[in-house]
Chain A
Amino acid sequence: MNLLTVEGIGIRFGGLHAVRDVGFSLKAGEIVSVIGPNGAGKTTLFNIISGVYIPHSGRILLESDDVTGFDPYLLARRGMSRTFQNLQIFQAMTVLENVMTGFHLRESGPVLSDLLALPSSRRRSREAESDARVLLARVGLERAAEREASALSYGALKRLEIARALALNPKLLLLDEPAAGCNAVETEEIDHLIVDVAKEGTAILLVEHDMKMVMRISNHIVVLDHGEKIAEGDPATVSRDPRVIEAYLGTQGQDANHAHG
Chain B
Amino acid sequence: MKLSAKQSTLLVLILIIALAPFFFPSAFYFRIGSVVFVNAVAVVGMVILTGYAGQISLGHAGFAGIGGYACALAPVYLGLHPALAALLGALISAVLAYLVGRPILRLKGYYLAVATLGFGILVSMVLSNETAITGGPDGIKVPDLGLRAWLVDRGLKISNSQFWYWFSGLALVIGAWLALNLHESATGRALRALHGSEIAARTVGVDVARAKLIAFVISAIYASVAGSLIALQNRMITPDIAGYMHSIEMVTMAVLGGAGSVLGAIFGATILTLLPQVLTVFQQYEQIMLGLVMMLVMIFMRDGLLPSLVARVRGRGE
Interface residues of chain A, those whose CB is within 8 Å of chain B, are: 50-52, 71-73, 75-77, 81-82, 84, 88-93, 97, 100-105, 107-109, 111, 114-117, 121, 124-125, 128, 164-165, 167-168
Contact = CB atoms under 8 A, between A and B. Distances in A.
A88 B204 CA distance: 11
B196 interface: yes
Nearest to B183: A114
Contact of B193 (A81, A82, A93, A125): A93
A101 B193 CA distance: 7
A104 B181 contact: no
B187 interface: yes
Given A101-B189, A114-B188, A115-B178, A72 B196 contact: no
B196 A52 contact: no
Contacts of B26: none
Contacts of B178: 115-116
Contacts of A73: 202-203, 205-208
B190 interface: yes
A114 B190 CA distance: 12
B203 A72 contact: yes
Interface of B: 178, 181-182, 184-190, 192-193, 195-197, 199-208, 214, 218, 260
B224 to A, nearest CB: 16
- B contacts with A: majority SS: helix
A114 B205 contact: no
A82 B200 CA distance: 9
B208 A84 contact: no
A89 B206 CA distance: 15
Contacts of A72: 199, 202-203
A116 B190 contact: no
Contact of B181 (A76, A81, A89, A114): A114
B197 A108 contact: no
A177 to B, nearest CB: 16
Given A90-B193, A92-B192, A167 B204 contact: yes
B186 A104 contact: yes
A104 B189 contact: yes
A115 B197 contact: no
Contact of B205 (A88, A100, A121, A168): A168
Nearest to A108: B186
Nearest to A121: B185
A52 B201 CA distance: 12
Contacts of B186: 103-104, 107-109, 114, 121, 124-125, 128
A104 B192 contact: no
B229 to A, nearest CB: 19
7 contacts: A72-B202, A88-B200, A104-B193, A114-B181, A115-B185, A117-B181, A164-B204
